[in-house]
């Protein structure tokens, strides 16, 4: 893909970027939210935020811990990863069995 502004080529996602994205979503299946500490910058943003979620990797880690309680077999299945170097989008779905009486985060944290 050529950038019309300066005639340069837009760089594709690198294999390392794709592997990092895969590792990020794999943290759900592995039940290891601490993986986010290895791969996310401290100013990483989860967009959109869940109600009451802290705006940092720690915020998503708290959501993950909650999901591991109410959906212990949760897994994110990646269908597509696309984008350009340093800008990626992921089309994915969550698969899980809900095993608790409610989904109220306040009752589980």
Beta strands in 42-104 (DSSP E): 75-84, 87-95
* pLDDT (mean) for 81-109: 82
Going along the chain from its start, the domains and CATH numbers come out as: 15-101 (3.10.450.50)
Model-level pTM greater than 0.95?
A: no
Q: What is the pLDDT of residue 108?
A: 47
Q: Within 10 A of 90 (CB to CB), how many other CB atoms are there? A: 15
Tell me how far apart the alpha carbons of residues 20 and 1 are, in angstroms, rounded to a whole number: 23
Half-sphere exposure of 37 (CA within 13 A, CB side): 6
Contacts of 109 (CB under 8 A, 6+ apart): 62, 65, 66
* Tokens 């996310």 found at: 40
Query: For the segment 6-57, what is each residue's pLDDT rounded down to a tens digit?
Result: 667 899 999 999 999 999 999 999 999 999 999 999 899 898 999 899 999 9
Which has the higher per-residue pLDDT, 102 or 46?
46
* pLDDT (mean) for 49-74: 93
| Contact predicate 72/60, CB 8 Å | no
Which residue from 52, 13, 19 is spatially nearest to 35, judged by alpha carbons?
19
């Amino acid at each position: 893909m050529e950038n019309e502004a300066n005639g340069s080529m837009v760089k594709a996602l690198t294999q390392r970027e794709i592997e990092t994205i895969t590792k990020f979503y794999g943290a759900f299946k592995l039940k290891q939210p601490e993986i986010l500490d290895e791969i996310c910058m401290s100013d990483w943003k989860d967009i959109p935020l869940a109600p009451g979620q802290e705006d940092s990797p720690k915020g998503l880690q708290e959501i993950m811990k909650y999901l591991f309680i109410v959906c212990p077999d949760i897994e994110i299945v990646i269908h597509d990863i696309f984008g350009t170097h340093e800008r990626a989008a992921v089309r994915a779905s969550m698969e899980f069995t809900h095993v608790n009486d409610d989904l109220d985060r306040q009752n589980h944290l």
